[in-house]
């Protein structure tokens, strides 16, 4: 959508054009603050919260942003609802302030048996595999690092559930972050360690936090592995990914413009641009008299 203005355009027309822009371009800035899940722009999303100040903003394609401050436990992200493992590319920013219990991981569930699992790429003050009764079952190498396998069996309601962790060593640093996760290789390592996994329900590249302060700005996309196990971007991922998502090999350049909003997800992205545009145009000191013209 393009609007053309002249010095003779009326102030009312300018404001009307801004309203059109605000209402027609805000589809990818829905802010989630309560437990929910669904599909958007070809991706599955999930957000869970026990309460407090935490929010996740759904952006275009595989991108989401988060921000939290002294919240209860929460997590959320974007991915896929599918029974098939895949290579997941992710890139963006993951930031915390001070000593905070938070992590960035590929999170998911399987059914029959019911298993909750994490492939943890980065964490803060607490290693999430340090659960009560956790067992170190082995170490394997994939995706350019060593991963430690932990089993944390537990009960969820009346249904027995497994809780598996693969912890990256060394963990990735805060700030700009990117990588690729070949799910099949991790699942094979779990099987060799004796961990049973059921039919895959969904996976998301999730940010999780508890109390403290932090933010993230993460984009996920499909990847593929060649016969040598090298990971590359998938050219056949959904059309929405081609313009909004980036592979791990190009994360530095594609995310340089998003760092400014990584710490202010609920009001960042398109919302911040629109607010600036409306304020700027409304403050112009012109006596404007022609109308705005919309070009589709």
Known catalytic membership, residue 50:
no
Instruction: Clarify whether 121 is annotated catalytic.
Output: no
Q: Where does the chain have alpha helices with state H? A: 11-24, 183-192, 239-244, 251-254, 269-282
Choose, from 30, 121, 196, 208, the residue flagged as catalytic: 208
Catalytic one among 116, 121, 148, 196? 116
H/E stretch holding 45 reads: strand 43-49
Structure tokens given for 182: 């070949």
Is residue 194 packed enough to be buried (19+ CB in 10 Å), middle (13-18) or exposed (0-12)? exposed
Q: How far is CA 165 from CA 36, 127, 134, 168, 282, in A?
A: 24, 10, 9, 10, 52
Cβ 43 vs Cβ 237: under 8 Å: no
Q: Catalytic residue positions?
A: 116, 208
């Amino acid at each position: 959508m393009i609007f053309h203005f002249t010095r003779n355009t009326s102030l009312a027309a300018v404001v009307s054009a801004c309203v059109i822009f605000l209402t027609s371009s805000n589809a990818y800035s829905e802010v989630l603050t309560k437990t929910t899940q669904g599909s958007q722009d070809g991706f599955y999303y999930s957000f869970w919260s026990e309460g407090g100040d935490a929010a996740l903003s759904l952006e275009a394609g595989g991108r989401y942003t988060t921000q939290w401050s002294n919240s209860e436990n929460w997590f959320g992200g974007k991915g896929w609802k599918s029974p098939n493992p895949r290579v997941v590319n992710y890139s963006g920013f993951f930031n915390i302030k001070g000593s905070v219990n938070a992590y960035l991981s590929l999170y998911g569930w399987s059914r029959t048996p019911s298993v909750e699992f994490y492939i943890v790429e980065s964490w803060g003050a607490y290693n999430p595999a340090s659960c009560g009764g956790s067992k170190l079952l082995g170490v394997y190498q994939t995706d350019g690092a060593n991963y430690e396998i932990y089993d944390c069996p537990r009960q969820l309601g009346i249904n027995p559930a497994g809780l598996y962790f693969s912890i990256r060593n060394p963990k990735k640093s805060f700030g700009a972050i990117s990588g690729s996760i070949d799910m099949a290789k991790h699942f094979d390592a779990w099987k060799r360690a004796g961990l049973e996994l059921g039919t895959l329900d969904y996976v998301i590249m999730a940010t999780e936090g508890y109390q403290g302060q932090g933010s993230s700005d993460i984009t996920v996309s499909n990847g593929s592995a060649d016969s040598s196990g090298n990971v590359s971007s998938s050219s056949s991922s959904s059309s929405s990914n081609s313009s909004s998502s980036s592979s791990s090999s190009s994360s530095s350049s594609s995310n340089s413009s998003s760092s400014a909003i990584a710490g202010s997800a609920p009001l960042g992205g398109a919302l911040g641009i629109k607010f600036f545009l409306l304020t700027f145009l409304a403050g112009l000191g012109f006596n404007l008299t022609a109308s705005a013209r919309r070009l589709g």
